Amino acid sequence: MKKFLLLAVVIFITSCSHDDSNPSPDRKALAQQKLDKALSNFPGLSLSVKTASESYTLVAGDAVINERPMAASALHYMQSISKTFTAVAVLKLKEEGKINLDAKVNTYLPNICNHLPNGNIITVRQLLTMTSGLPDYLDNDQFLNDVVAGSLPMTSEQVLSYIYDQPAKFAPGASFGYCNINYHLLALIIDRVTPNGHRKYITDKIINAIGLSNTYYIAGSASTIAPVGTTANYLEIDGSFTNMSDLQLGTVLTFIGDDGIVASVQDIAGFYYKLLHDKTILSPTSLAEMKVAVIYQGTPIYGLGLHFYKTNGGLQAIGHEGSGVGAGAYAFYFPSKNTSVVLCTNVGTLTDAIKEEQLRVLYEEVIGILLE
């Protein structure tokens, strides 16, 4: 349950050089102090950095308030970072000859497409690049009411019902519009072309295949509890952190394809490093295709499950961010630094614009410490 966050997502990593030189101990200590100071706004924070020569993790605060301190091994909800996993799965299936990116979506989901605006003219690639023009379930007030008052997790059919017969936002390919339902549909396409469905495909072909031992894809599963080691999740209400862990879990179980990953920060840093630095997850052709970004308002913004942005200091970043009712997460690779960085918190940024801004500002401050 996410939205496209502010383009200024911020990172910190190594020293001032343009390689993967390690930051000095003083810089790491200052970064730790910055995280500790931010605990007036966040219950807990975890950060992991991966370079060619080292990996390290900094944590602050609590995984469960007043019960369990945040640990380097804590599992976090990665929210829309899951979209990169879904895009990788689609590209692997393209390599296997099972999905054609330029085929119309109705090739795979004919009945569903009959109820979608643009449904019989959008392509798989347009789902991947957020250029389908589809409306989002987050745009429907009834969806929001049902999340709070209804039963979770929802079925896929219920999620789709919130966009059925709604007007399109634009003609396919005419613009860019971040939309979670695009990746829900991609999960259903994977279900259609694989014998055991998208959850098993993502788990077997990506998570297990590259050795992500503390990563779990739980969307669409029959789970009733989060994986062992997952943080509690909170929403700030009237100045206090209110536990929203049940709602957080229920929403993540609901949103196949566009959500679903629960993982350690180290695993996600390693995932983006292997994908974009080592280039060992996809073929060179598929990776190059994945990195072709849509231009929006004159700026490259979104590839195939990859968000592109430049930091305030001018560093190019490639990865994804995510926000939920009880979590916020950022995971990016920085080509000029040969470094990937993941930063997570266990308080919601989806419905709290102030919290979202506090997180953005924190990232900018940490960049100043470690990169500039």
More confident residue, 264 or 8: 264
For 164-184, the pLDDT digits (tens) are 989 999 999 999 999 999 999
The C-alpha atoms of residue 265 and residue 69 are separated, in whole angstroms, by: 16
**Averaged pLDDT, 250-270:** 98
The C-alpha atoms of residue 372 and residue 366 are separated, in whole angstroms, by: 9
| pLDDT, averaged across the chain | 91
H or E stretch at 217: strand 215-217
Are 103 and 186 spatial neighbours (Cβ–Cβ below 8 Å)? no
Q: Which tokens belong to 53? A: 């020569």
Rg of the chain in Å (alpha carbons): 19
For 190-212, the pLDDT digits (tens) are 999 999 999 999 999 999 999 99
For 61-120, the pLDDT digits (tens) are 999 999 999 999 999 999 999 999 999 999 999 999 999 999 999 999 999 999 999 999
In the predicted structure, residue 14 carries a pLDDT above the cut 50:
no
In the predicted structure, residue 18 carries a pLDDT above the cut 80:
no
For 40-58, the pLDDT digits (tens) are 999 999 999 898 888 999 9
Output the pLDDT for position 187.
98
Look up residue 103 and give its amino acid. A
- Measured in whole angstroms, the distance separating CA 120 from the mean position of its chain's CA atoms is 28
Burial class (CB in 10 A: 0-12, 13-18, 19+), 323: buried
In the predicted structure, residue 294 carries a pLDDT above the cut 90:
yes
Output the pLDDT for position 220.
94
Are 80 and 261 spatial neighbours (Cβ–Cβ below 8 Å)? no
The C-alpha atoms of residue 84 and residue 183 are separated, in whole angstroms, by: 10
The C-alpha atoms of residue 48 and residue 28 are separated, in whole angstroms, by: 12
Output the pLDDT for position 180.
98
**Averaged pLDDT, 2-21:** 35
**String of DSSP letters for 167-192:** PPSS-TTSS----THHHHHHHHHHHH
Output the pLDDT for position 23.
63
In the predicted structure, residue 371 carries a pLDDT above the cut 70:
no
